[in-house]
Structure 1
């Protein structure tokens, strides 16, 4: 195991850069424009499979320049959420891939008012998607709002009843609890039965900073034994045109070198 688990896009130069490091897992971060080329998405998945690389997709974060929200009051945006989800679920089933999906992002309607009733409403919206995507979608948390682990109703009112397959973003959870490693550990332990995938990225715990591992305040010696053995990528913010994935590679090497003793893993 070399821990080379990377993120990229569909551009061939971007892909070639990642393939140079012989990754075990590669996640394609998709845009609204990418979904207009479903055959290219399929082609990229097949390229990975031929090389023995496990493929993941990431549902487009935006529609017409605005962040997506499964409960948006904009009928056109909700229709796009449903339509894009159905398309990606079909591709994943046929090409044997999985897809990361957000119920909502920050600065959307679902990131504002957190109540038990609204959490239950979100549960029923997600239930509809699960009817065709349970085996291929994993659900990622936000830094605030209904699908944030700081929502006290999220686990018991939504995740447990749906037996929801999760992608836990370690930095999002850390930020949601304002940089509290003890709370992060609680979530990682609580979600063990549901989380099959993780985004590993460091943070100072105040904002969505997407730092390389070791440059923030997350306790990686605590995190490593709780995610090791499952699928994950290093989702580090990149500069320029995002072709050079060096910060992700350096994070993978940091994670590989990390020594975990019996105290840290207890």
Structure 2
């Protein structure tokens, strides 16, 4: 069974980094935003990476920014129709991948988001064409990032986990995957069996987990144990070689309490399962 990491998430804000480092995590994920991609912003982010590395943390993930101005950074974005958004997605990804090679860290890119997906899908003849375009974009970043890039599942109609045919397409491309448990759970409307099936089927390609609880209805990002995911069934299905963080909504961004609570919940459960084996 996988040894659970104390994986914490923060921006490059010094107060957030200071807070996370006090817990001595072994995985650190940087949540990036539009302002990280100016010349000074990238220097600030690079400094933050060095600070985390100096604290002895070797597993670092850079999460591609979710938004650019009023838009989510959808890989569905067609260059011809939304050139400025397309250029930001491309350049910010290249910037993060350059940091990944320079610093020997990882980059996480979302295959899709959900809140504006319908708007972006309307730019394509049908879902099949949209899906084909997203796979081309993912192939592009896979070729660029190689062992430094991974792709995360959404709850949108594009690039989600748990559908047998779509999972087969993903595995055929041998993508390195980031698996968000809550996204899969919500996509299947709180179906634990679907979640477990997806975890098992994709296990060999998963390199990183976002361990998050949910009630299975909306994107609620709950502490572990406060939703409806059956964690005792999740634990045996996790890839032992993958890393993980706890991507929980925080009441205070300078206090990782809810993330740490989730780690402690899972460690207690892990110990109980070990005793019963």
TM-score normalised by length of structure 2: 0.88
Aligned counterpart, 1:129: 141
Q: Distance in 1 between matches of 2:251 and 2:130?
A: 37
| Pairing 1:1-266 to 2, within 5 Å after superposition | 3-36=5-38, 37-53=41-57, 54-73=59-78, 74-109=82-117, 115-149=127-161, 153-157=165-169, 159-227=170-238, 229=240, 230-240=242-252, 242-258=253-269, 259-260=272-273
Q: Distance in 2 between matches of 1:183 and 1:82?
A: 33
Give the superposition deviation at 1:94.
Answer: 0.7
**1:55 counterpart SS class:** strand
Q: Distance in 1 between matches of 2:117 and 2:214?
A: 25
**1:260 counterpart SS class:** helix
Q: Which runs of 5+ in 1 are unaligned?
A: none
Using a 3 Å threshold, how does the CA distance of structure 1 residues 78 and 153 change in structure 2: closer, same or farther? farther
Q: Distance in 2 between matches of 1:58 and 1:210?
A: 16
Give the superposition deviation at 1:95.
Answer: 0.4
Give the superposition deviation at 1:260.
Answer: 2.4
Q: Deviations over 1:107-145 (max 9, x none)?
A: 234775874443222211211112211221110111122
Give the superposition deviation at 1:149.
Answer: 1.9
Using a 3 Å threshold, how does the CA distance of structure 1 residues 213 and 112 change in structure 2: closer, same or farther? farther
Higher helix content, 1 or 2: 2
Q: Distance in 1 between matches of 2:133 and 2:172?
A: 13
**2:203 counterpart SS class:** coil
Give the superposition deviation at 1:160.
Answer: 2.1
